Amino acid sequence: MGFGYAYNETTKVVDVAQNISPPGNISGQYADNVPPLVSPEPAPAPAPAPAPAPEPAPAPEPTPAPEPTPEPAPAPAPAPAPAPAPAPAPTPAPAPAPAPAPAP
């Protein structure tokens, strides 16, 4: 087997040549002169089975806004304690009846 090349500096072209023995296809002798492939031709890859479409993720449900807690009604201002009821004025004791005057 031999390789050769030629480089033309004017045109910048490179010619490459190869000589092999035995020669390749000589007029109708392809089967005799060309050895079979070392490895068989690769079989085309089988078409992948269609995968089911992915289920869409469920849409998130919005959380309801919390209901505002009502503000408690303001407590009424405490009423002042009632003044104690005045004690009833004592009734004056009855005046003693005058003793009868002695007889003369």
Q: What is the pLDDT along the chain (104 residues), one digit of tens a residue?
A: 788 999 999 999 999 988 877 666 667 777 777 778 787 777 888 888 888 888 888 888 888 888 888 888 888 888 888 888 888 877 887 777 777 777 76
| Per-residue model confidence (pLDDT) at position 11 | 94
| Per-residue model confidence (pLDDT) at position 25 | 64
Q: CB-based burial of residue 76 (10 Å sphere; 0-12 exposed, 13-18 middle, 19+ buried)?
A: exposed
The ranges assigned to domains in the chain are: 1-36
| Per-residue model confidence (pLDDT) at position 23 | 63
Q: What is the pTM of this model?
A: 0.23
